[in-house]
Amino acid sequence: MLNNLIDDERLDSNLLADLKELADNLLLDKSINDAEISITFVGNSKIKELNKTYRDKDEVTDVLSFPIDEELLGEVIISLPRALEQAKDYGHSLRREVGFLMVHGLLHILGYNHKSDADKAEMRKAEEELLEDHGFTR
């Protein structure tokens, strides 16, 4: 389920359809068949508020993820303004950046983390493989 709480024409129906397909494929790749996820796009003030409330960090971040249960696997919240900034900074498309942020958040929900160098390398490899396999190239 994709929720757009920010009015921005760059989140067009083609991009949202691509993201839905990517999320569906990620779940299939991980053998998760009967669960739903929620992806929500917000502005910087909303993600900062959520980051403060749930992580005690009073700052804007790019993505937050919240595991829920087996039926509604979780929710990924993406700051569209931050995604736009990062796409520009990294020299790739908004499509690639929001795809990356969504996959990153979903992998956190599935138990991946980047607390150690080995965990970070494993997560980064999974992210890049999923993105490449589904056409979200740099």
- Which amino acids are annotated as binding site for Zn(2+), given as ranges? 104, 108, 114
Both tokens of 53, joined, read 């409330």
Binding residues: 104, 108, 114
Q: Which sign does the torsion angle of CA 69, 71, 77, 78 carry?
A: positive
Dihedral through CA 109, CA 74, CA 92, CA 119, nearest 10?
Answer: 0
